[in-house]
Structure 1
């Protein structure tokens, strides 16, 4: 296609070469003859829908003329939003991000387009077209001022959500950039935003950040519960925000997180206090379906976490009860086995029978890990990476080198995929400690993995 040829000229050329009149073109493109006549005679501008129909009729893929469409039909001094909005949506679905950049840059030079761009960004975000939505959010955020701080904060929240990915360094950068906007968010978004932020820091094992924002989440949810009781409109709020958990669930989650911080610090006594705090939610008076579900869920998690903290404090006697607890809970198996192998390595506990009992589940975890409930996908991936590393330590220490190296290489591969430098370094040091026991094929697999690692393995 010549750069000097217009879309309409291309269409006329196609009609001449294929000996088509207006009626013929209308028939093959399944469009109204009157519409075709107006387009061909230049009395009507193409909508993106009409352009797509004509483009397909001419034998080109949809989007073929989009760059030209911007120049010929969207560059008016007063852009037509009814034409521009569907075009941007089509670009988003086709992942034509350069076209979106061009149109949005053009629109932001005009006054009054921040509102419709934000609304479109929200629709794209809900449709999970995150890359396209991010372009709109970024530009709307640049146009905001102090009078629109809530919308600026919401743009930053959406950008943070869109930037959560496997690369942990990039996820961390997105979290740090967003956290200063939490206080500016509208109340209806704050609890979810804090939950998402703290989950990211939890995945990254940034425990000081987890502790800080878990406490913020607890304080905010507690203040909101008091306000709800004063208004005596809890049921109304639940109906209004049916897609979000009830407020007490965020409060319970804050204690679950604070218990986890204590767990990491090996302060199991304090961790148990937080576990007991949300283990009994009988004071919650709401009886709607969502409230009952979350009450049961947190009471269940508390029971499990009490087992864990007792186990990690060296109480091996809780193992049978803990195993019985999670055996029928598929979503909890990875977390539970990770806890058990961690304790086994710390206290030299023989858990061969437990690993044998869950052998098939462990093998399936090697294939895929899916999150649910309070766990997001990032967290599950990180947890499996940690579990593989601990299993490698367990087996290598016992002289079971085949199994040990298998899980060590798995952990190294996962660590490299999510760019977790600390795990990479641990795996490298562990391999070097047992290198003499590794067969040649294991050493070759190790070399291949190391060649792809994005970190200096000698750094501290």
Structure 2
């Protein structure tokens, strides 16, 4: 039956059920005269006609879809008025195979680049992201020699859609997209650079974070100054996802994190002060501006405590703990830092860990300022488990072995190379503390991590 045309199968159904064409057309909600012409013409049905026919025959909605694609390209020249609604319907009912069939027939025709891009955008914003991804990939192929902004936006969408908890795959996505970032409109560039920076933060590629942050600040400051001009204020122009001053402040926040990792705490404090008390220069009295200013002031307060701690000023630990106790969304992040401080300066923090036990493990990505970046938080939790295992073992608690095994398993799941190495190294250092079951679990995890690393090697994407 699959070799038959849709028309042939419809006629066979009418015959088998002893119907007249008029009776069937009534069931299919198609005008009898129109149905008669459809049956006698060698042309594809429209989407609405196909829906009516399929329903009248009592078949699954997508029963004829593969043959419909074939007939759209064999019975007549491609008709976008027929293909466009079909692409959207395939996304709605989950038929990526049919979308791929259509796209494979359009790849050689550059005239379809803009039309397909519009459909991809509609599907992307309607949350049909897998279908949108297929179409963006095809548009990228069609326009690969055009060097257009549309090509850059396709690559940006593909980058966004490719991000996951797998850090190695995120690096591949970032590496693929980064050459296209500067082809985007400047208002889109800012959000794109932020997402790129997030990938490199999760991978501890701090030199990349520094470079991207400086570019973010440069672009945002130029656009912010332009936005203050009287003519710009009254004109219509594409606004960024967040206000320009948000990206200026966020760039400085990222740079303070860079210098924290470089252990240059004086420089980290210097950059922290640059996103403090932004109400002095931000010319915006909106509620959004007030929230952003509060957000960065809170970041500033907690980070100034942290950098003093990391620099060895341990007297500030009590104030730091009391401050974060009033910031529930920040407690887990603060605990990761407190454990690092404890390991660095060999201090006992058991009472602090007991006090905030309910915040271990990390439970939410939400905060009063929005949702935290998931890959960054996943990597942070992976690092926390490794550091906490080290702390427990150093304090003489054998439960540190189980924590290290948990950390190794989690690091393997997200392919966090740095934390895999950290957990492996620490476990081998304290191997004599492990019992038989723990050693067996370690060997199994070690094997799984090795296989995963062979599948997603970081070095293959550089």
- Are 1:320 and 2:315 an aligned pair? no
- Are 1:448 and 2:444 an aligned pair? yes
Unmatched 5+ stretches in structure 1: none
Q: What are the within-5 Å matches in structure 2 for residues 109-188 of structure 1?
A: 109-144=108-143, 149-188=148-187
CA distance in 1, matches of 2:315, 2:391: 20
| Residue 163 of structure 1, CA deviation | 1.4
Tell me which residue corresponds to 2:249. Answer: 252
CA distance in 2, matches of 1:390, 1:21: 77
Q: What TM-score does the superposition give when structure 2 sets the normalisation length?
A: 0.89
RMSD: 2.7
Aligned to 2:344, which of 339, 343, 346? Answer: 346
CA contact (8 A) 2:166 2:415 kept: yes
CA contact (8 A) 1:252 1:278 kept: yes
Aligned to 1:434, which of 430, 434, 438? Answer: 430
- Are 1:214 and 2:213 an aligned pair? yes
Q: From the superposition, tell whether residues 49 and 330 of structure 1 become closer, same or farther in structure 2 (CA, over 3 Å).
A: farther
Tell me which residue corresponds to 2:360. Answer: 362
Unmatched 5+ stretches in structure 2: none
Tell me which residue corresponds to 1:309. Answer: 307
SS at match of 2:274: helix
SS at match of 1:112: helix
Q: From the superposition, tell whether residues 267 and 145 of structure 1 become closer, same or farther in structure 2 (CA, over 3 Å).
A: same
Tell me which residue corresponds to 1:190. Answer: 189
Task: Deviation per CA, 1:296-337: give whole Å up to 9, x if none.
Answer: 111111111111111111222222222222223332222111
Q: In terms of mean alpha carbon deviation, does 445-454 or 142-151 score higher? A: 142-151
Tell me which residue corresponds to 1:377. Answer: 374
CA distance in 2, matches of 1:181, 1:307: 39
CA distance in 2, matches of 1:181, 1:428: 37
Q: From the superposition, tell whether residues 161 and 77 of structure 1 become closer, same or farther in structure 2 (CA, over 3 Å).
A: same
Task: Deviation per CA, 1:383-435: give whole Å up to 9, x if none.
Answer: 11111111111111112112x13321221122111112221122122222222
CA contact (8 A) 1:194 1:213 kept: yes
| Residue 33 of structure 1, CA deviation | 5.4
Report 1 or 2 for greater relative contact order, CA contacts < 8 Å, sequence distance ≥ 6.
2
CA distance in 2, matches of 1:269, 1:148: 43
Q: From the superposition, tell whether residues 95 and 207 of structure 1 become closer, same or farther in structure 2 (CA, over 3 Å).
A: farther
CA contact (8 A) 2:6 2:68 kept: yes
Aligned to 1:425, which of 421, 425, 430? Answer: 421
Q: What TM-score does the superposition give when structure 1 sets the normalisation length?
A: 0.89
- Are 1:330 and 2:323 an aligned pair? no
CA contact (8 A) 2:14 2:24 kept: yes
Q: From the superposition, tell whether residues 166 and 76 of structure 1 become closer, same or farther in structure 2 (CA, over 3 Å).
A: farther
CA contact (8 A) 1:331 1:371 kept: yes
SS at match of 1:278: coil
| Residue 60 of structure 1, CA deviation | 4.2
CA distance in 2, matches of 1:352, 1:23: 82
Q: From the superposition, tell whether residues 299 and 32 of structure 1 become closer, same or farther in structure 2 (CA, over 3 Å).
A: same
CA contact (8 A) 2:365 2:372 kept: no
CA distance in 2, matches of 1:39, 1:448: 67
Q: From the superposition, tell whether residues 337 and 21 of structure 1 become closer, same or farther in structure 2 (CA, over 3 Å).
A: farther
CA contact (8 A) 2:156 2:177 kept: yes
